[in-house]
Structure 1
Amino acid sequence: MGRTVRVKSFELVAKDINDVDVKLLHALSIGVGWPHRPKDWDFLRRAGHGIVAVDGIGRVFGSAMWFPYGHEFATIGLVITSPRTQAQGTGRWLMEQVFERCGDRNLTLNSTHAAYHLYLSLGFTKEATVYQWQGEAVSPPPPVPALTAELSSLSTANIGEIAALDERAFGANRQKLLALLSEGAAISVLRRGGEAVGFSMKREFGRGHVIGPIVASNDCDAIHLTAVHLRDLAGQFVRVDTREQTGPFADFLQQSRLGINDTVSTMSKGKRFLNRKENEPWVYGLAGHALS
């Protein structure tokens, strides 16, 4: 696959995402209305790999990132093309670059409405919808069901305690990502009989805070793992990305004065990504659209 592409009268070259100024990445995401701050881009570059499409004088016209979890699976995200090049095939070219670098891995991504048909044409299949709940958290928070487990904070040093639980819910080992996420996060863990059965993280992102990942085996546990962070964020902007549109967990988010701002489509290429099982751990809240 060629490492360059011609767009109208100029040529774009694939360049490592770590070799460009973060201010250019920030400008790219602002140009399409995405909330990523420079520090969010810096975090994502630490967590994964990426390329940018640059012209001969260093202007950035597109980006794409991938986040490998072992040798068999990766998530894709931050696929952005500037408005000037969106109709010129740059998005397809960026994805072909990603395919080349990911090899035979099974892939998943969360597609915007604008990119959906491109991903279909590239062999991705839709599996689910992600609902972006966001808004200012209400004070006081809404009532929660009776707690039937022990809820406490977890230190970064003990992040390994929840790695196996997260792997069961997500389907791949994300211990390295969890460690990176935990550096600036508040972490809560739910235990029954001394065993971790759920966890959640709260961290700064975009316009305010994101609560995610949230891993639990049922809506009640997911509510408690979310409420513990909402209590600290009363009156502040909060975002929760979830595949739950209805049910007690979705009702709780609505009662917390969060609303569905947008949706994206979870899509996979290769092995099916989502595999929910009753009474088994499930990702109620995404770590992020790119990280899933």
Structure 2
Amino acid sequence: MGPRMVKEPADRVEGAVRLRPLTSADLPSAQPLTAALRWPHRVEDWAFALALGDGLAAELDGRLVGTIMGWRYGADAAALGFVVVADAAQGRGIGRALTEAMLGILGQRSVTLTATEAGLPLYRSLGFTGTGLVRQHQGGTFSAELIPLPPGQRLRPLGRSDAPVLATLDRRALGLQRDSLIEALLPVSDGVVLDREGEAIGFALIRRFGHGQVIGPVVAPDLAGARALIAHWLGSRSGQFIRIDVPEESGLSPWLQSLGLEEVGTGAVMVRGTPPQGDGTLRGFALVSQAMG
């Protein structure tokens, strides 16, 4: 599935800067923008994100100098990310123009993003408020033993018919309709399901991303279940570079630190509108990515 065509603001001009749809042909030029910030995204990571959402590019004198992407999660919610402006183009209001344009495309949905410290003033001025932190853990030297599960629970491999089950679990945990995202993740991920007497009650995916592999999303009914799911992947990926982005309220950070996955940064979770809410029976313990939530 390719990027949806964006009818506006294809011809919008901000001084000498033109905003237009971001396309797959732009990605080899866009990837260096994140590389300059020491973000690990490969062109393939950019392509995966763009295929599921809308993107805008900012051009200055014919050169790509800024990007943004947005993803619709049903009729009521969305996520926003990949907001990047080249150093040489700073101070022209490009970040604001891109963000305002993407918010216009996403409409009246509640919009969530993970902000860097530099982006906080812009997002606050656009009506976003902070709701928490995301803690990024990563490393290639870690040790994780398998965690015993209560009677009646087990981990099983992801099955071919599990896509709608995982989408339902994800929606119960986060209150987001992300069926298309979950469906797109499965062909590029390995997965394990937390099962209780034949009923799926959680899952964890792992896929290629950046410098190695990333664990996420992780959905579970409690902290013990989340640890068991994550430990499964850590135990089977010994010596490989692993990243995982967890909400601060997950309670996972001290445990991840103790395993050797160091915390290397944080991001501020911000929302414009009413924050989405799950049904309270499940929780999201790790993100797909900081951009896509």
TM over 0.5: yes
Rounded to whole Å, the distance in 2 between the matches of 1:56 and 1:167 is 43
Give the corresponding residue for 1:28: 33
Rounded to whole Å, the distance in 2 between the matches of 1:225 and 1:158 is 16
1:145, distance to aligned residue in structure 2 (A): 4.3
Give the corresponding residue for 1:270: 273
Rounded to whole Å, the distance in 2 between the matches of 1:194 and 1:186 is 20
Question: Closer, same or farther in 2 for the Cα pair 1:256/1:229, shift >3 Å?
Answer: same
1:150, distance to aligned residue in structure 2 (A): 1.5
Rounded to whole Å, the distance in 2 between the matches of 1:163 and 1:245 is 22
Residue 52 of structure 2 aligns with an amino acid whose one-letter code is A
Rounded to whole Å, the distance in 2 between the matches of 1:217 and 1:95 is 35
Q: Secondary structure at the match of 2:80?
A: strand
1:4 aligns with 2:16: no
Give the corresponding residue for 1:62: 66
Q: Retained in 2: the 8 A contact 1:137–1:230? A: no
Rounded to whole Å, the distance in 2 between the matches of 1:25 and 1:107 is 23
1:193, distance to aligned residue in structure 2 (A): 2.0
Give the corresponding residue for 1:76: 80
1:216 aligns with 2:225: no
Normalising by structure 1, report the TM-score.
0.91
1:245, distance to aligned residue in structure 2 (A): 6.2
1:115 aligns with 2:119: yes
1:82, distance to aligned residue in structure 2 (A): 0.7
1:156, distance to aligned residue in structure 2 (A): 4.5
Give the corresponding residue for 2:20: 15
Question: Closer, same or farther in 2 for the Cα pair 1:246/1:153, shift >3 Å?
Answer: closer
Normalising by structure 2, report the TM-score.
0.91
Q: Retained in 1: the 8 A contact 2:146–2:231? A: no
Give the corresponding residue for 2:189: 185
Greater than 6 Å deviation, 4+ residue runs: none
Q: How does 1:181-260 map to 2 (within 5 A)?
A: 181-244=185-248, 247=251, 249-260=252-263
Rounded to whole Å, the distance in 2 between the matches of 1:5 and 1:35 is 30
Residue 86 of structure 1 aligns with an amino acid whose one-letter code is Q
1:137, distance to aligned residue in structure 2 (A): 4.2
Q: Secondary structure at the match of 1:66?
A: strand
Rounded to whole Å, the distance in 2 between the matches of 1:137 and 1:287 is 22
Question: Closer, same or farther in 2 for the Cα pair 1:174/1:137, shift >3 Å?
Answer: farther
- Root-mean-square deviation (CA, aligned residues, Å) is 1.8
Q: Secondary structure at the match of 1:273?
A: coil
Q: Secondary structure at the match of 1:234?
A: coil
1:180, distance to aligned residue in structure 2 (A): 0.6
1:29, distance to aligned residue in structure 2 (A): 1.2
Residue 135 of structure 2 aligns with an amino acid whose one-letter code is Y
1:45 aligns with 2:45: no
Give the corresponding residue for 1:289: 290
Rounded to whole Å, the distance in 2 between the matches of 1:223 and 1:97 is 40
Give the corresponding residue for 2:3: none
Rounded to whole Å, the distance in 2 between the matches of 1:131 and 1:118 is 21
Question: Gaps (5+ residues) in structure 2?
Answer: 1-8
Q: Is 21-30 or 259-268 further displaced after alignment? A: 21-30
Give the corresponding residue for 1:87: 91
1:144, distance to aligned residue in structure 2 (A): 2.7
Residue 87 of structure 2 aligns with an amino acid whose one-letter code is P
User: How many equivalent residue pairs?
Assistant: 283
Rounded to whole Å, the distance in 1 between the matches of 2:160 and 2:289 is 19
Identity %: 33
Q: Retained in 1: the 8 A contact 2:250–2:285? A: no
1:41-82: CA deviation from partner (whole Å, max 9, x where unpaired): 11111111110101342x111001000011221100101111
Rounded to whole Å, the distance in 1 between the matches of 2:32 and 2:138 is 23
Residue 235 of structure 1 aligns with an amino acid whose one-letter code is G
